[in-house]
Every structure is written in structure tokens, then in C-alpha cells.
Amino acid sequence: MVRNLKARGLAGELAAEFVGTMILILFGCGVVAQVAAAGIGDHDSIAWAWGIGVTLGIYVASRISGAHLNPAITVALAVFKGFSWRKVAPYALAQTAGAFLGALLVRWNYTEVLNAADPGLTIKTQGVFSTLPGNGTLPVGDWGAFRDQIIGTAILALVIFAITDLRNTAPAANLAPVVVGFLVVAIGMAWGTNAGYAINPARDFGPRLMSWLTGYDTAFTDQYGYPYWWIPIVAPVIGAVIGGAIYKFFIERYLPGDPAPEALPAKDIERVS
């Protein structure tokens, strides 16, 4: 997921991040729209669709860009894994643009049911596209949501670093995207209460901007009227760096050297030998 296996040029990498993130949002925001506006499904179906969306987005983009699909993960890779800092901002912009377009397609497709369920386009269905403290209903404040996003994204980054580290017990046969998808499902089921597990600045800001442009006047605020939009941007970046640091200093430093060639998929042997 996080390794650029072969240089493809920045334009190709950005295109892959754009499309991969769009796929993620088509499934993620799509399932929330179905649950919130049509009453089809529940929290578990939301968690599973987000996880499957992540898996499919990674399979779409990974060979070209590494399939970060998340600016917080991109920053963590730059801090700890040598990813080029000059690519961080372009990757983040491509990811956010992909999330914007994916959310726009969901908004367009579900126009009728969203308008029927929430004619005023209010907080009631705002959560289809962007997150809110306590999912807009529970007694969680902005700082509680900030804390939650740091913890949730730290878990995400820590486990992604483990899953994609060939010196550790990395999944074989190109199954890493599936395992990362399971990780997102688990985070959604265990850490979805306080802030809707955005754990991804692009996933939240792209759809948030789209919803504001298409009629959700309160898209940048929470149910308390406070400006909330910055929390799912800043907190995940902090959390991803913390998670990456935990992996680097508590796990990575104790792993053996380069993996034995027989332990690697065939496509990776030449790269590490």
C-alpha cells in the first residue's frame, strides 16, 4: 500500500491517488447516504462498506502511487519512511479532489432521498458527507472529538506500518489491501462514537466542501455552532505521526534486517536483493 514499487511520474501518482480516493468515498459516503436517508442498513454496514471501499481504492491505486489515499498517512510516510516532502502537498490535494468528486457523485445520485429525508439539508444528513462530534447527537464536544481523532489515526498509522513492513509479518499474495480494509472496519466498529472515525483529512474536507457548495449551509460547523472543519484535518495528522513513531521506536527497531528473498512475493525479490 505505502510503497511506490516503480517510478511512474508525479502526474500518474496524483491520478492514482485521485481515483483511489474517489473509489473510497463512493462506497463510504454512499453507504452512509443509504442508511441516513433511506433507512437501509446500520452502523455495521457503514463500517464494512468503508473498509471495503478502502480495500478497493488501494487495489486501484497501489501499483502506481502506493495508495496512501489519506494526507495524514502521506505525512507520516514523509516523516518516517523517506517519502518525498515535495510530493506531500500534491498528494494531499489529489486525495482531497478525489474525495470531493466521489462525494459529489453520491450527492447527485441520492438527491431525491436526501431531500425527502431532510428538506432543509441540515445536521440531520450532514453526517453523510462529513463527520461531527458524537455523530451530531451524542454529548461529545470538539475537544473530545479532537482526542478521538488523534487516537484513531494513531492506531491506523501504527497498524498500516506493521502490515506493509516486509521485515515484519506482512500479508502475502497481495492481501495487504484486504487487511488494511479490515483495519478500517475494526476502527469504525470500535472507535466510531466520538467523531465518526474520519481518520483522514481528505475523506472529511473534500466531502465537507462539496456539501457546503451544494446546499448544506452548516457544513463547516458542528451541532453546537462551533467551527469544526479543522479538527478532522489537524488531529489525524498528529495521530498519524504519533502512530508512526510508536511503530518506529517500539517495533521497527527490534525487527531483523532485510527480509529473506524466499519470504517475499516474486515481484518484490528484485527490489530488495
Each domain of the chain, given as residue ranges in start order, spans: 10-253
Q: For residue range 153-204, what is the model confidence (pLDDT) as tens digits?
A: 999 999 999 999 999 999 988 999 999 999 999 999 999 999 999 999 999 9
DSSP 8-state symbol, 227:
B
How high is the pLDDT of residue 173?
84
Nearest CA-CA partner of 163 in 71, 256, 251, 253: 251
Residue 30 has pLDDT above 90, yes or no: yes
Q: For residue range 40-84, what is the model confidence (pLDDT) as tens digits?
A: 999 999 999 999 999 999 999 999 999 999 999 999 999 999 999
Using an 8 Å Cβ cutoff, are 117 and 125 in contact? yes
Q: What is the mean pLDDT of residues 17-40?
A: 97
DSSP 8-state symbol, 171:
P
Mean pLDDT of the residues in the chain: 93
With a pLDDT cut of 70, the percent of the chain lying above it is: 91
Q: What is the pTM of this model?
A: 0.91
Q: For residue range 82-122, what is the model confidence (pLDDT) as tens digits?
A: 999 999 999 999 999 999 999 999 999 999 999 999 999 99
How high is the pLDDT of residue 8?
63
- pLDDT band of residue 273 (cuts 50, 70, 90) is very low
Q: For residue range 193-242, what is the model confidence (pLDDT) as tens digits?
A: 999 999 999 999 999 999 999 999 999 999 999 999 999 999 999 999 99
Architecture of domain 10-253 in CATH?
Up-down Bundle (1.20)
221, β-bridge pairs: 227
φ and ψ at residue 257, rounded to 5 degrees:
-70, -155
- pLDDT band of residue 259 (cuts 50, 70, 90) is low
3-state secondary structure 105-140: HHHHHCHHHHHHHCCCCCHHHHCCCCCCHHHHCCCC
Q: Which residue has the cell 514523509?
A: 78
How high is the pLDDT of residue 257?
83
Locate 147 and state its grid cell: 482526542
Nearest CA-CA partner of 184 in 58, 90, 37, 19: 58
Residue 155 burial by CB count (10 A; 0-12/13-18/19+): exposed, middle or buried?
buried
Separation between Cα atoms, residue 211 and residue 103, nearest integer Å = 8
How high is the pLDDT of residue 213?
98
